[in-house]
Amino acid sequence: DGGITQSPKYLFRKEGQNVTLSCEQNLNHDAMYWYRQDPGQGLRLIYYSQIVNDFQKGDIAEGYSVSREKKESFPLTVTSAQKNPTAFYLCASSISLNQPQHFGDGTRLSIL
Amino acid sequence: DQQVKQNSPSLSVQEGRISILNCDYTNSMFDYFLWYKKYPAEGPTFLISISSIKDKNEDGRFTVFLNKSAKHLSLHIVPSQPGDSAVYFCAARSGTYKYIFGTGTRLKVLA
């Protein structure tokens, strides 16, 4: 079954630690995205990647980093520079940049 | 500045009746609009879309209407079913890659 897998579903981090959220897709999509959702707000774009080995900052990239070494994988690292990392993180992919996005089930990150 | 607004955080509808979810936007350059459905503990699922050159798109029980002069988008679900109970997000495309999402409307269909 094709889809997007995000792991883990829940993640806890101590202050000052970096943490990496996994996102894998087997839809053969070129484009991938990371969003953040906070209560009462719409999804906000953190980073996106049009193709392997290429990625661009979204609206709220500060304190985050990504890599796109393989078409299937787009991991997001939340660094200690991110001042308010507690949120629900969604990964998405699409055939190309301007097509509807398919989402994973999300990872909820909490700070201990 | 919220460019895509869903002013109703929640909506309750009786099973079999019509559900109408609304979305307003401010940017006349948006050229493509989408609706997503989200169940608890799952990611959003793409439901239906409409290009700015159209004013209506229909897919089974779901119809999206676009009123460009009013900058208003609506999703009609007829007839509503209990399984339609979810949070619905509208989104608008700005440029080639960027989607602006609304804050969502929680629909509850009562049996």
Interchain CB contact of A108 with B (< 8 Å): no
Indicate if the pLDDT at residue A1 is higher than 70. no
Q: Residue A88: its pLDDT value, please?
A: 94
Evaluated on CA atoms A3, A93, A50, A22, the torsion sign reads negative
Q: How many CB pairs under 8 A join A and B?
A: 49
Regions in chain B scoring below 50 on pLDDT = none
How far apart are the CA of A25 and the nearest CA of chain B, in angstroms? Answer: 14
Q: How many residues does chain A have?
A: 112
Lowest mean pLDDT among A2-6, A74-78, B6-10, B93-97: B93-97
User: pLDDT tens digits for A42-66?
Assistant: 899 999 999 999 999 999 999 999 9
- Contact assignment for B43 to A101 by CB distance below 8 Å: no
**H or E, element range at A86:** none
Mean pLDDT of A22-37: 96
Nearest chain A residue to B104, by CA: A42
B25: left (phi over 0), alpha (psi -120 to 50) or beta: beta
B89 contacts in A (CB within 8 Å)?
Answer: 42-43
Residues B88, B107 contacting (CB under 8 angstroms): yes
Q: In angstroms, rounded to a whole number, what is the distance separating the alpha carbons of residues A50 and A28?
A: 13
Q: Which residues of A touch B94 (CB under 8 A)?
A: none
Burial class for B4, CB neighbours closer than 10 Å (0-12, 13-18, 19+): buried
State the Cα–Cα distance between residues A2 and A27, nearest whole angstrom: 6
Mean pLDDT score, A69-95: 94
Q: Is the pLDDT of residue A96 over 70?
A: yes
